[in-house]
Structure 1
Amino acid sequence: MFTVRLAGFLPALLLCSATASGEDAVTVTPGDTVSLPCTALFENNDTAEFVVEWKKDGDPLCKNKIRKNNTAIYYCNRQFSINPETFGLIITGVNSSNAGLYNCTLTKLIPPPSEDTFSLLQVNVSPGLFLQQLNSSDVTCVELFCTLDGLRPEQVNFTWTKADEKLPHYHNTNMSSTLKLCKPDWWDGVTLTCQASYSHNFTVYRKNITLTCRNTGPENLSCCPTVHVLFFIIIAFIWILSYVFARTAVRSRVASKLRPAGLQHERRSGSQMITTSGLEER
C-alpha cells in the first residue's frame, strides 16, 4: 500500500502525485467479506483521537471518528464498515462493482499537532459465482440468487442441484439465475448448489450454500421444529398465567365486596339475640 504522511494542512496536489506514482493492488473473490488495510503511522493509545475516511474512485464510502472504545459514525454506505482498531475498511459480500481505487485518509486530532496519512489501494475482483439468499415474505419458502461476476456478458448455462437431484424450477437471465423452493422441498441443513457454465472459455463455476435456521432468519420458525414447538409452549404458558391471575383478581374483588355485608349481618344477628334475651329475663 502506498502511503503519504502530511503534517498540518498542505495542498491536495500531494495526493494526486501519490496516485500517479502507483499503488498496491489486491484481488478479492465475489461473495467474500474482506478487510482493506489502512496504514497508520500514529500511535493508537487511550487518549488518541482520529478521523478515518474511505473513498473509492473519489466517491465517499465511510467516515468515522474514533477514540479508544468509542466510535462516532458520520456516514457509512451499505455493505461497508470501518474496523475501529485497525482503521481498515470491511466490505461484506464482494461483487464486481467493488473493484476500483480505494483511498484511506487518517487524520490524527489528539494529541496535536494535526497530521494526515493517505493510503492508496487498487482492488480487483476475480471472476466467480456470487450466491446469496434473498429476503422472502413467505417463511415457508427460500429464494436464492446466483450470478456470474467479473466477466463480460456471454451465454451462461445455470444448473441448480440438491444432492444429485436437479432442480427445474428456476428463472435465468443472461448472467444470473434465481431459485425459489418451498416446503417440503427444503429443510434445515440441506445443501444447494449453483453451477454456471461460461460459454466463452467453457469454464464451469460452482458455489454451495447450506440452509440453516441462522441464515433463513429468526422469523422463520418453521425452519426448526424444536424452536417452533418451544415458541408455542411459551405462548401457551403466558396465556395460562394471565388467565389464572385474572380469575384470582376477580375472586378477590368479589370476596372484598361480600365480606362487609357478612360482618354487618352477623352484627345485626347478635343485636337481635341480645334484645330477645333481655325480653325473656323480664
Structure 2
Amino acid sequence: MSSLKAAHYLFLVVFSITLCICKGAEFVIRAVKGETVHLPCLPHPYNSYLSSVEWTKNSKTANVICKHTVYENKASSGYCISRFRVAAFNLNIENVQFSDFGSYTCKWSRIIPPPTLDVITNVMLLVEDLSVEHQYSRNDSCIHLLCTLEALNPEQVNFIWSTVGQRLPHLSSSSVMSSEFYLCEPAVDDGDPITCQASYFYNNALYGINRTVEAFTYECAQIVLFKGETGHLPCILHPENSSKRSVEWIKSSTNSTTICKCQIDYVHKTSSGCCIPRFTLTKESLQLNIENVQPSDFGNYTCKWSRIIPPPTLDGIRNVMLRVEDLSLQRLNSRNDSCIHLLCTLEALNPEQVNFTWSTEGQRLPNMSSSSYTSSELYLCEPDWDNADTITCQASYFYNNTLYRRIEHFNLSTEHPLFSEDAVRENLQLLIIICSAAAAAGVIFSLIFTAVLCKCRRRRNANESIVFSNKVYENFSFAMTRQSTQRTQPTVKPQKEECIYEN
C-alpha cells in the first residue's frame, strides 16, 4: 500500500515538472492603460488542504508582488503591494500603467498533504494605449482628430478610421505611432461616432486596439454666459445606456485645472470623486454645471469620458469655449437735482457691433448723450422722468455671426436719491458744522446767563438785608386817666404812634 502511495506522489512530482516545462512562459496578456487586468496562475489539479502562492515580477532583481497562504483553496492570508491583490491564486492589477509591462511568475506550492509539490506559471503582460483627441480646426464646420498608439516597439502599425461600420477616407498623413483625421460637413455630423483602429505586430503576433469618440465641430461648442448666471456645459451629445462611466472635466490654461473627476456606477447608483466648489456634475449626460458664473471662469473646457461597462470601451472628448460677459447700469453725479445721468457699460470679448437702446415702461427713450464702443449714457431732466419710473438699457451685439442681447433695469423709486452723492456729502458736512457751532453758542450762552442770574440774586439779597433787616417797629399808646378831663371835654380816642428807626 505504501508503495502505491509513493508511486502516486512520484507521479505528482513528475506531472508538476512536466506541467512547468509545458506551460512555462506561455501566457501573454494584453492590457490597456487604466484598465484592471487578471494574470492567471495554474495550481495543481488535485485539492490541497494548505498551499501557498507567490507572485514575482522578473527583472534584474526579482520583486515579490504578492505572497499568500491558502486554506482549502478558499481562505487566504498574506500581503500584496499597492494596486495588486490575489484572488483564487490569480493576480489582479488595478489601473494598469506602462511600468507594469514585463514578465511575471506565479509559484504555487502544495504544503498539506505532503509531499510538497510546486507548479510554476509564467505570464507576459503587454501594456498599450490608444488615444483619440480633438485638434483645433480653423474651419468651424470641420473636425480634426489625432489617434496615437502607445505600445512597446510594435513592428508595424496600420490605422483605420471608420464610422458606424463604414470605413472613412484617411485625409491626413500617418506617422509610425499616430494618425490624423480631417473631415468636413456634410460628410460628418455632430455626434457621429468616429472609430480609430490600430493594428500592429509584436513577436510575430497581430494585435488590434480601437477607440471611438463623438465628432463635434467648434461651431456648436461656444457658450456665452453673463456674470451671476448658472451655466451648463455639454459633454455627451447622444447619451447611451451604460452601467459604468468615468468622466474628467479640465479647464485648459497655462496650468490646466481639473474641475471634476468622477467614476459613476449607474447600477448601484454610486459615484467616486468630486468637483471643486461652485461646480456640479449631471450624472446622466455628464454635463458640467457652474453656479454664479464669474469673469474668471472664462476659458476652454475639455470633457473626457469613457464608457467602461458594457464593453467595448467607448471614449469621448469634447471641448467647450465659455465666454463670460456683463452689462452694468449705474447712476452718475448730476449737477442738476432735477436730472438723472445713467451709464450703461457692456463687458464682452471683442463684440463685432454693439447697439444700445434705452426705454422705460416699454417706450423708447431718446439717447441724450453719446455712445462709445461698449458703453452708452442717458441724460434726462424733469418732466421726462419720474421717481416711479424704471429705466431699461438693452445691449445687442454680434459675435461669430450670432446675435446676443442683454437687458439691465434701474428702478428710480429705490435707486434715485434726491441729491447727488457729493451734494449730500457737502450738505451733511455743512449741517454738522452748523449744529456744532449752534451747540457751542448754546453752551456759551447758558454759561453767561447762569453767571448773570447768580450775580443778580446775590445783589438782590444784599439790598434786602440793608433796608429791612435793621428796621424796628414800635407802637406807643398814650391814654389820659384824668376824670375831670374826661367829663368836661369830648371823648378823644387814644392815639397810636408808630416810630420807625432806621440806621
Q: TM-score range by the shorter chain?
A: 0.3 to 0.5
- Higher normalized contact order (CA 8 Å, seq sep 6+, divided by chain length): 1
Which has the higher Rg, Structure 1 or Structure 2? Answer: 2
TM-score, normalised to structure 2, is 0.26
TM-score, normalised to structure 1, is 0.42
Task: Write 1 or 2 for the structure with the bigger share of helix.
Answer: 1
Task: Write 1 or 2 for the structure with the bigger share of strand.
Answer: 2
